[in-house]
Amino acid sequence: MSRLFQRSNPWFLVMSLSCVLIALSSWRGFVAPFEVVMAHLVHYLQDYSLPLYAHIIFGPLALALVPFQFWQGSRHRPVLHRWSGRLYVLSILAASLGSLAMLPGYQGSSWTAAGFFTLALLWIGTTGMGLVRALQGRFAEHQIWMLRSAALTFASVTLRVMMVPLIIAGQTPLETYDVTAWGSWLINLVAVEAWLVWRGRWRMA
């Protein structure tokens, strides 16, 4: 995998930049009036403020950490890699539990809620497997599971990219979720699985 995650690889650079930019823009509710820049989330504030804040603080943090964790250089700094990996896992735990706790207050369709629900479960599952394999010293499998976890974290980028043509076509942000709540992560996951098969590294252990 190492050549893919070098700074000189343009794909890696574009992916890293999009992670950092989407993470930074996701924190906009903390620097500008929340009810203006995140108006579509205000309805969560009454009963779901804790899970909402957990989700929109730690989801972007996990996303911002993805490029560093995969960057080949971080593997030569094992202490840093380990600590930022712990932060990544804890961020995903907080963000995914936050999204699960918010879902009863979600105002879209149950089809969409099911997509987010499945994504949250897979996010916890793949990240948990990645952590367990690292603790067992099974680093080849650790990389594979963390690649799956990162594909799901990156769904937040894919979702926002997919929203653009749908909004231009006249859909409201809530309507776009009917496609993106499933499509944003299925595309990433299928791409990662296909890449693992192509490289002869596919494993489900």
The half-sphere exposure of 148 on its side-chain side, counting CA atoms within 13 A, is 27
Which residue minimizes CB distance to ligand HEM? 59
Burial class (CB in 10 A: 0-12, 13-18, 19+), 79: exposed
The count of other CB atoms within 10 Å of the CB of residue 193 is: 16
Cβ burial of 31 (10 Å; 0-12, 13-18, 19+) is: exposed
Q: Of 39 and 194, which has the nearer Cβ to ligand HEM?
A: 39
Q: State the nearest-atom distance from the C-beta of 33 to ligand HEM, in Å.
A: 15
Angle at 117 between CA 28 and CA 166, to 5 degrees: 55
How near is the Cβ of 26 to ligand HEM at its closest, in Å?
3
Residue among 95 and 129 whose Cβ is closer to ligand HEM = 95
Residue number with CB closer to ligand HEM (90 or 140): 90
| Beta carbon of residue 123, minimum distance to ligand HEM (angstroms, whole number) | 4
CB of 38 to ligand HEM, least distance (A): 6
Distance CA 80, CA 68 (A): 10
Residues at the site binding ligand HEM, with contacts judged by CB under 6 A? 22-23, 26, 40-41, 55-56, 59-60, 62-63, 95-96, 99, 102, 106, 116, 119-120, 123, 152-153, 155-156
Nearest-approach distance from CB 194 to ligand HEM, in angstroms: 20
Residue type, 167: I
By beta-carbon proximity to ligand HEM, the closer residue of 27 and 195 is 27
Look up residue 182 and give its two tokens: 């499933």
* 114 versus 197: smaller Cβ distance to ligand HEM: 114
